[in-house]
């Protein structure tokens, strides 16, 4: 069996006040998945949603500040793998605790299929 990608979406998210990297990451993931419809998988006969693999990559300026489990909890099905890498943007204000953070996300939906 080999993983085959069925869906790839990208999104961006912003936390305008408070420098909350997890909030920006979750908003980026939400932006990506809002444009997706999985009806085609039902029509293909998918019955067990737990067999799906969800691969999430999020880019933020400070990856260690993202709560990966909070990002993974956004998906009600499948085996979710969240990877956080250096990326995105940070816009400093006069008060460092009020910086804006921009996150970028890629969400990929994969399933094992016979080779």
Q: Of the candidates 62, 67, 108, 106, which has an alpha carbon nearest to the alpha carbon of residue 85?
A: 62
- The pTM for the full model equals 0.88
Q: Which pLDDT does position 73 carry in this prediction?
A: 96
Q: What is the mean pLDDT of residues 92-102?
A: 84
The beta-strand segments (E) located in the chain are 2-15, 52-60, 79-86, 89-91, 100-113
Query: Tokens 């489990």 identify what position?
Result: 69
pLDDT 10s digits, 38-65: 766 667 767 777 778 999 999 999 999 9
Report pLDDT for 83: 98
**Residue carrying the six token digits 């998918």:** 46
pLDDT top residue among 50 and 12? 12
**Which domain CATH number covers 23?**
3.30.1330.20
Q: Which domain holds residue 85?
A: 2-113
CA distances in angstroms from 71 to 1, 37, 102, listed in the order given: 28, 19, 15
> Residue 1 has what pLDDT?
67
pLDDT of residue 80 exceeding 90, the answer is yes
Dihedrals phi, psi of 99, to nearest 5 degrees: -60, 150
Q: Domain count for the chain, please give it.
A: 1
């Amino acid at each position: 069996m080999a993983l085959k990608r069925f869906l790839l979406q990208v999104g961006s998210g912003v936390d305008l006040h408070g420098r909350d990297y997890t909030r920006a990451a979750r908003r980026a993931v939400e932006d990506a998945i809002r444009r997706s419809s999985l009806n085609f998988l039902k029509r293909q006969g998918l019955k067990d949603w737990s067999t799906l693999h969800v691969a999430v990559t999020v880019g933020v300026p400070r990856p260690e500040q993202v709560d990966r489990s909070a990002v993974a909890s956004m998906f009600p099905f499948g085996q979710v793998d969240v990877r956080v890498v250096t990326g995105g943007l940070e816009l400093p204000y006069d008060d460092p605790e009020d910086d804006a953070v921009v996150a970028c996300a890629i969400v990929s939906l994969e399933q094992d299929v016979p080779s």
